[in-house]
Amino acid sequence: MTPSTGRNASPGRVALAWGVHAFTASGAVVATVALLAIASGDFRSAVLLMLVALTIDAVDGTLARRVEVERVLPSFDGRRLDDMVDYINYVLVPAVFLVATGALSHWAWAALPVLASAYGFSQSAAKTDDDFFLGFPSYWNVIAIYVWLLEVPPPWATATIALFAALVFVPLKYVYPSKMPVLRRTTAALALGCTALVTYAVLNREQADSLHLVEISLLFPVYYLAVSWRFGGLHRADR
């Protein structure tokens, strides 16, 4: 079956739309390579690949809106593709990473993010009408990277995983960075700075440790949670 295209969509715009979808799908390829790196014990490469996947996901939505992929390729569900790729990169890869690095008290604890996020991703209201994530948005890759970089002891890492797995079910609203009505540029700049610091820490571990770069980069997750509480807070269905 040949996918239909939107009316008045030029061949160039159609090509761009398919290019955006291919870019999103490339995240699954990155995830596959990350899993291979984990299997071989190359955890540094796995973390770098998780950061690449994060970067792809951070920009593909903006590209999709710019190209108007829904209008140009109405028969292709880009949201479903994005959810599939995100579940692999944000849930499965970090869960395997946490087990392989010995970060958890027992491998079975990895079932918490896998099951909680399966529930979260399947909710029709996973994103609210005012463009917030509802419940913790399964940033397990971010948690896994910090657990590894900070060498968090397994009991504390397990407790952290359990806490955020529970937060998937709590109807708190978390900001969707690329759709924030305010502070969008500030958030993007801080996210970029955080990613740069973490990447440098992965590549230059000793120097980063001496400068406490990983600890400094934690300012962005703290900012993200604070902004989410300020502008999102508890979701009320009657609003």
| 54-61 average pLDDT score | 92
DSSP label at residue 178:
G
The percent of residues above 70 in pLDDT, for the chain, comes to 95
Over 60: is that where the pLDDT of 220 sits?
Answer: yes
The pLDDT tens digits for 96-149 are 999 999 999 999 999 999 999 999 999 888 888 888 999 999 999 999 999 999
Q: Is 14 helix (H, G, I), strand (E, B) or coil?
A: helix
DSSP 91-124: IIHHHHHHHHTT-SSSGGGGHHHHHHHHHHHH-T
Cβ neighbors of 55 (< 8 A, separation 6 or more) are 195
**Which residue blocks in 6-92 are alpha helix, DSSP H?**
11-39, 43-67, 69-72, 78-87
SS3 content of the chain, % helix, strand, coil (to 5): 70, 5, 25
Cα torsion 188, 21, 89, 199 to 10°: value is -40
Neighbours of 185 (CB within 10 A): 9
pLDDT in the model for residue 81: 94
Q: Summarize the confidence of residues 75-102 as an average pLDDT.
A: 96
DSSP, res 153? -
pLDDT of residue 238: 53
Residues 143-156 have a mean pLDDT of 97
Q: By percentage, how much of the chain surpasses pLDDT 90?
A: 80
3-state secondary structure of 127: strand
Cα-based distances in Å from 28 to 34, 54, 75, 97: 10, 11, 21, 16
**pLDDT higher than 90, residue 88:** yes
Backbone angles phi, psi at 32, to 5 degrees: -60, -45
- pLDDT greater at residue 111 or residue 177: 111
Only one residue has tokens 């770098």, namely 48
Q: Where does the pLDDT of residue 202 fall: very low under 50, low under 70, confident under 90, or very high at 90 and above?
A: very high
* Predicted confidence (pLDDT) at residue 150 exceeds the cutoff of 50: yes
Residues 199, 48 contacting (CB under 8 angstroms): yes
Average pLDDT along the chain: 92
**pLDDT tens string 1-49:** 455 565 667 888 899 999 999 999 999 999 999 999 999 999 999 999 9
